[in-house]
Amino acid sequence: MRFGVVLPQFGQWARGPEVRDRLGIMAVSADRLGYEVLWTADHVVFPATISTPYPYGPSLPFSVTDPVLDALATLAYVAALTPRIRLGTSVLVLPYRQPIVLAKELATLDVLSGGRLTLGVASGWLAEEFDLLGIPFRERGARTDEYLAVLRALWTEDRVTFVGRSVTVRDAVCFPKPVQRPHPPIWVGGRSRPALRRVARFGDGWLAPPPVNLEALAADVATLRRLAEGEGRDPASIGVASSGGARSIDDLVERLPALERIGVTVTGVPVLAWGRSFDHALELLAQFAERARLEARP
């Protein structure tokens, strides 16, 4: 089992000039302690008042006036500070971005990081954010599927022709290609049946959104495996990322055997959510690495 940690690029942790130090310290510490992946989250613009229900809790876990640093720019920053740890989005809201431009940005990040990008995507949930960006909310699922196809084509084909509902590309050439072949791993977030079908069709892994208990997680993984078999894929080839709803280091350590039995391959360690301060979060990062016997790197 591998372990990941969310970077302090949103909410209270992203306030003020100290955010650069926080990002660097968290990224370098996680890399040295033996964590596998750094995750960033994604929002572009908020309405002053949100009416759409937050799907993963009673309310958005930070204020709309708190900063949210761009997910890819943040990963590029920490890529320059770290030699080994993978760089992931959990998740990038795919319909928000023009896919041809995004293909270039992601390939560049993969090249400059030496092939460390893991692309986590989802179709999004905040209707008001779609409205502010001028993107039809009802088309988000179809656009996600189409944009994934465009990305894969631009990353793997020397001459690209693609005709879709919202994207048309004719005899296009897009270089550089990503370092990772055929392309960076694509993980898909969301718990709805369309999201799980998207994982089964496109995904190298599933990013299970919080909160979740072990029973619900096991049921979702079983559903995902059935859908993968229906797509002619080996279910064992699809990774699963989740912390299983753990609320502390002790709780997470106790859950690890159950998470592994369920099929979780990457466990999130939410030290920023558990920490009373940034320094405390760093202490928790080191404590979990010791408890989980991660292999420290020089």
The residues, any chain, with a CB within 8 Å of residue 222's CB and separated by 6 or more, are: none
Predicted confidence at residue 106, as pLDDT, reads: 98
Omega prior to 211 cis, within 30 of 0: yes
Q: Are 251 and 258 in contact (CB under 8 A)?
A: no
Q: Are 284 and 252 in contact (CB under 8 A)?
A: no
Q: What is the pLDDT of residues 278-291, one digit of tens each?
A: 999 999 999 999 99
160-163 and 168-172 beta bridge pairing: antiparallel
> What is the percentage of the chain residues whose pLDDT exceeds 90?
96
Mean per-residue pLDDT for 137-150?
98
Cα separation of the two ends of the chain: 21
The residues, any chain, with a CB within 8 Å of residue 216's CB and separated by 6 or more, are: none
Q: What is the pLDDT of residues 31-50, one digit of tens each?
A: 999 999 999 999 999 999 99
Predicted confidence at residue 57, as pLDDT, reads: 87
Mean pLDDT of the chain: 97
| Cβ neighbourhood burial of 204 (10 Å; 0-12, 13-18, 19+) | middle
Which of these, 254, 264, 245, 244, lies nearest to 292 by C-alpha position?
A: 254
Q: What is the pLDDT of residues 194-205, one digit of tens each?
A: 999 999 999 999
Sorting pLDDT into bands at 50, 70 and 90, what band is 25? very high
Q: Are 50 and 57 in contact (CB under 8 A)?
A: no
Predicted confidence at residue 269, as pLDDT, reads: 98
Domains and CATH numbers, the chain: 2-291 (3.20.20.30)
Given a cut of 90, whether residue 211 has pLDDT beyond it is no
Predicted confidence at residue 210, as pLDDT, reads: 86
Q: What is the pLDDT of residues 95-141, one digit of tens each?
A: 999 999 999 999 999 999 999 999 999 999 999 999 999 999 999 99
Q: How many residues does the chain have?
A: 298
- For residue 283 the two structure tokens come to 């202490």
Could you list the beta-strand ranges (E) of the chain. 2-6, 37-40, 86-89, 92-93, 117-122, 160-163, 168-172, 186-189, 205-207, 239-241, 266-268
Predicted confidence at residue 268, as pLDDT, reads: 96
Predicted confidence at residue 192, as pLDDT, reads: 93
Given a cut of 90, whether residue 212 has pLDDT beyond it is no
Predicted confidence at residue 10, as pLDDT, reads: 96
Rg (CA), the chain: 19
Predicted confidence at residue 36, as pLDDT, reads: 98
Given a cut of 90, whether residue 58 has pLDDT beyond it is no
> What is the percentage of the chain residues whose pLDDT exceeds 70?
100
Sorting pLDDT into bands at 50, 70 and 90, what band is 297? confident
Which of these, 8, 121, 153, lies nearest to 69 by C-alpha position?
A: 8
Distance CA 141, CA 145 (A): 6
Assign 169 to helix, strand or coil: strand
pTM of the full predicted structure? 0.97
Mean per-residue pLDDT for 27-33?
98
Mean pLDDT lowest among 54-58, 119-123, 253-257:
54-58
| Cβ neighbourhood burial of 108 (10 Å; 0-12, 13-18, 19+) | middle
Distance CA 81, CA 116 (A): 13
